[in-house]
Amino acid sequence: MATAEIKVQRGEFINEPFTDFSKPENRAAMLAALAKVKSEFGREYPMVIGGEHITTPEKTTSTNPSRPDEVVGIFQKASVEHGNRAVEEANKAFHTWKRVPAAERVELLFRTADLLREHKLEMAAWMCYEVGKNWAEADGDIAETIDFCEFYGREMLRLAGPQPLTPMRGEKNYLVYIPLGVGAIIPPWNFPAAIMAGLTVASIVTGNTVVLKPSSDSPTTAYKFLEFLIQAGLPKGVVNFIVGPGGTTGEAVCRHPKTRYIAFTGSKEAGLRIQEVAAKPQPGQMWIKRTMLEMGGKDAIIVDDEADIDAAVEGVALAAFGYQGQKCSACSRAIVTEKVYDTFVAKLKARVEKITVGPAEDPANFMGPVINKSSMKSIQDYIEVGKKEGRLLTGGAQAGVDGYFLQPTVIVDLSPKSRIAQEEIFGPVLGVIPAKDFQHAMEIANDSEFGLTGAVYSKNPKKLEQASEQFHVGNLYLNRKCTGAMVGAHPFGGFNMSGTDSKTGGKDYLLLFLQAKCVAEKV
């Protein structure tokens, strides 16, 4: 199929609509999807290297954080040797995949998007169980996955073929974008479909091949996505799937001399380690490895004297406790000017105490579990620190005994330099910091090593303009919450220790997976 035909067939990019679960037929369909997925618990899944399905004596399991005794899936524990082999197989496949016309690679993404739409609720159900997302969060995750397939497909059509250059008399010149090579794809568990798929499809649509190593907390979601890619026509070796420890298997893949780039989303510490490993050339390595690193956040929402306080309270509560605060974009600091501080705190307490906590597959619950036992312990430790640094307003305890449930927790009257105000917690803990005035609030907001998202609530246009210029974050939202970036509308990526500002879902994103070659011929 020609490029022009695909453009006509797909039309302009439009974000995938969210499912309206208030409709009885959609609720019934989601309940059916949850039942179907649960009937598949405990299945064993292979590694996939060069198209070969491989099993190993050593296994790793994915469990349901709402009920940790439930095994969602059983996976093969990849060794360093498996990681190295996966890179070699990806490198073999690269030499043929890079020559596949861009239009055909784009068609693969579009067919995958169509398959995901057919199985949208089933994929959402896997995320409810495997990573504890409520219905709306899981539905949004898979909608974003579809968006990435559709958006990056259209972007590759735009970038395929010769690019316009300044004419030069006596020469015929052109510039084309070519793929890089083998990519190590290391996504997180918190967006187990969207980020994993976004990194993968951006890689393959640009002509690269990959080793996909999903988080050990969310391998089932990744494997199900791989099945859709294969069903859509993915050739062997283009995506190689392994599950293994980041410190051994993951590092081996990143270190391999034939790995050309590393696309990672996760913690600051892991991202900086990847940068360090990538910077050291290995014997036989012929290039400087490229890294696309999306790391942490300590995101702030400023509430000004002139804000709509009720709207600010709602935005802060949703941004802080949506998906249990386990988003790099989550609001973890509310910085409130002193004139409205007491009013805001009182209203926030009442709003947060309405939040329901329990198993993610139950639509009555807004908050599900945190991802695992280790994470729960780390968050609880931070809460104890917060009790000493500020005043516990609400929450602070475990919620239930079976799963990894924590109450939404708010700690107020914090110093801007406190640990709770500076360190990423990645859980349902919000710190509230008083500010003298709007200028002071801006200074507090920027006093962070991170710079991912931020928001300002104010009815004063001059203050919003000031924030637009001075609030040093990659994604700034005015009079709305700081989570919920949409593909195409909100290219996403941050500054400072939040990463390399890779701007996923934006017009310049695919260029990170390509390199430009200029050809000039004297005529």
Instruction: Point out the residues that are catalytic.
Output: 294, 328
Q: What are the φ/ψ torsions at residue 337 (nearest 5 degrees)? A: -70, 150
Q: How many angstroms separate the CA atoms of 16 and 193, rounded?
A: 14
Q: How far from each other are the two terminal CA atoms of the chain, in whole angstroms? A: 33
For tokens 């690679």, name the residue: 105
Q: How many angstroms separate the CA atoms of 504 and 486, rounded?
A: 10
Distances from the Cα of 131 to the Cα of 190, 366, 368, 468, angstroms: 7, 14, 9, 35
Q: How many angstroms separate the CA atoms of 171 and 251, rounded?
A: 46
CA 309 to chain centre: 30
In contact, 297 and 497? CB cutoff 8 Å: no
Which of 132, 123, 137 has its CA nearest to residue 189? 132
Q: How many angstroms separate the CA atoms of 295 and 422, rounded?
A: 15
Q: How many angstroms separate the CA atoms of 518 and 173, rounded?
A: 7
Q: How many angstroms separate the CA atoms of 116 and 60, rounded?
A: 26
Q: How many angstroms separate the CA atoms of 114 and 18, rounded?
A: 15
For residue 516, the surrounding DSSP H or E stretch is strand 514-522
Amino acid identity at 140: G
CA torsion, points 353, 328, 15, 469, in degrees to nearest 10? 100
In contact, 301 and 312? CB cutoff 8 Å: yes
Distances from the Cα of 205 to the Cα of 150, 154, 264, 448, angstroms: 11, 10, 18, 36
Q: How many angstroms separate the CA atoms of 296 and 500, rounded?
A: 11
How many CB atoms neighbour CB 194 within 10 A? 24
Which residues, including other chains, have CB under 8 Å from residue 404's CB and lie 6 or more apart? 65, 66, 68, 132, 369, 370, 371, 372, 373, 375, 376
In contact, 374 and 380? CB cutoff 8 Å: no
How many CB atoms neighbour CB 22 within 10 A? 7
